[in-house]
Amino acid sequence: MEWISIRDRLPAQGEDVLLFDGGQIYFGYYSEISDKFILGDDKVDISDFTHWMPLPAFPKK
């Protein structure tokens, strides 16, 4: 999987993704209602991140 620039496109509403801010990776989802990423109980501005990536598939048994 490749990282996707926030400038190119945003993830679908409610899609769990990995987020990158230039130094660390976070887990969250995009909310169209607030136009922010939701990380736990925090709403974070889109501009705080540079890239996002869909979560990988679960391992097979």
Which tens digit of pLDDT belongs to each residue from 20-34? 999 999 999 999 999
Model confidence at 1, pLDDT cuts 50, 70, 90, reads: confident
- Domain borders along the chain are 4-53
Predicted local distance difference test score (pLDDT) of residue 3: 97
Q: Which long-range contacts (CB under 8 A, 24 or more apart) does 11-17 make?
A: 11/52, 11/54, 15/54, 16/55, 17/52, 17/53, 17/54, 17/55
Q: What percent of the chain has pLDDT over 70?
A: 100
Q: What is the mean pLDDT of the chain?
A: 96
Q: How much of the chain exceeds pLDDT 90, in percent? A: 92
Whether pLDDT at 37 is above 90: yes
